[in-house]
Amino acid sequence: MALKIIWTLEAADDLESIATYIARDSHFYAKSFVREIINASLSLKEFPNRGRIVPEFSNSAVHELFIKAYRLIYRIEESRIVILGIIHGKRNLKTLPEKDEWKN
């Protein structure tokens, strides 16, 4: 059974910020990258365990997919996948206080 995909407001804001940043150089690549992220998130409907468990946290329900230089962070729940955020791979998740709820 396919799971429902839910985006948090924070994750949607992350995606919009990334698109805005890329669009400063190329609207084409910004649209293309947004499409790639959305397609990756939709693939989780059928394959929720596709991503690895986020190593910074001790929560086996929180996984990540790598999309170019970014980490798509998501939580697997019983009937849905919750997209929590999209973080640049060079950012240290442990230093982001607003992401503390992802740990548990």
* Predicted confidence pLDDT, tens digits, the chain (104 residues): 689 999 999 999 999 999 999 999 999 999 999 999 999 999 999 999 999 999 888 789 999 999 999 999 999 999 999 999 999 988 877 776 555 566 55
Q: What pLDDT shows up at residue 11?
A: 95
Is 81 domain-assigned?
no
Is 74 domain-assigned?
no
Is 3 domain-assigned?
no
Is 8 domain-assigned?
no
Is 50 domain-assigned?
yes
Q: Provide the residue range defining the domain that includes 47.
A: 22-59
C-beta of residue 50 within 8 angstroms of C-beta of residue 43: yes
Instruction: Indicate the pTM of the whole model.
Output: 0.89
Local structure of 1: helix, strand or coil: coil
Is 36 domain-assigned?
yes
First to last CA, the chain: 26
Q: What pLDDT shows up at residue 32?
A: 97
Is 86 domain-assigned?
no
Is 88 domain-assigned?
no
Q: What pLDDT shows up at residue 10?
A: 93
Into how many domains does the chain fold? 1
Q: What pLDDT shows up at residue 100?
A: 55
Q: What pLDDT shows up at residue 98?
A: 56
Of 36, 41, 37, 60, nearest in space to 2 by CA: 41
